Amino acid sequence: MSAILDLGPLKIERGARTLVMGILNVTPDSFSDGGKFDAPAAARAHARAMLDGGADIIDVGGESTRPGSTPVSAEDELARVLPVLEAIAPLGATISIDTYKADVARRAIGAGAHIINDVWGLQKDAAMADTAAELGVPVIMMHNRTAVDESIDIVEDINTFFARSIALAEQAGIPKSRMVLDPGIGFGKSIEQNLIVLNRLGELGVHDLPVLMGTSRKRFIGHILDAEAHDRLFGTIGSNIATLGSGIVDIVRVHDVKPHVDACRVADAIFRR
């Protein structure tokens, strides 16, 4: 594996090491840290701490996508994320914007973000793929479903979804070097389906694209451990490290950066030989 993964300012050979993306939610209702980093000063301090801990990317989100969350308008989302982006951009970090709205993505890139992280895989907003291509930025395309359906083969559903997302990206002119896939753990899936995806992760390698893994503090970990969101660090580390042996995971998206940086360094020494 020698392809270059082009993440804007961050360019790295695929397979060289696991990248750690730190989560910066600027929402009042995110499931584990809602309201903690809404103010630009607090967001900047947290971003600085994650960078000091070894984060490669800071992922800024202005709309909670947890189950049961209330959708917000593009205007409200922008009011949350733009001041934070302006506060953290001078830190020199590679920044992704967690949004499925093309208008928000465009404004966020203009304010200092470098990557679009779309939880609907370019399939919610018809303008998203063309917007990303026009701006020349990488895209993270996540699998999602409007409802859980335990009767389906969830891995087959993910691969079908990814094929559509990749086709949209290619039609818009986005090169494969700027595409990342995310199986969307916790999104439109039952607890059992989340575990099935993690167990069969290698089947997503058919697309020959890097995969981002986002298990941080998710409900399935709480179910296994009988633990609240704030007490799921070790379970999160376990789930993320278990996926690295698949050989296709290049990024982990986490709330707790430094412990994952250390864990990934050890895992990389084992798996990436």
Q: How confident is the model at residue 36 (pLDDT cuts 50, 70, 90)?
A: low
> What would the mean pLDDT of 242-266 be, rounded to a whole number?
97
CB-based burial label for 145 (10 Å; 0-12, 13-18, 19+): middle
Instruction: Return the bridge partners of 211, or none.
Output: 181, 249
Question: What is the C-alpha to C-alpha distance for residues 137 and 8, in angstroms, rounded to an integer?
Answer: 6
pLDDT at 34 over 90: no
Fold of domain 4-271: TIM Barrel (3.20.20)
Q: How confident is the model at residue 28 (pLDDT cuts 50, 70, 90)?
A: confident
What 3-state class would DSSP assign to 115? Answer: strand
pLDDT in tens, 87-133: 999 999 999 999 999 999 999 999 999 999 999 999 999 999 999 99
| Token representation of residue 131 | 């917007």
Q: In this structure, what DSSP letter does residue 204 have? A: G
Question: What is the C-alpha to C-alpha distance for residues 33 and 16, in angstroms, rounded to an integer?
Answer: 31
What are the domain boundaries of the chain?
4-271
Catalytic residues: 218, 253
% of the chain at pLDDT higher than 90: 90
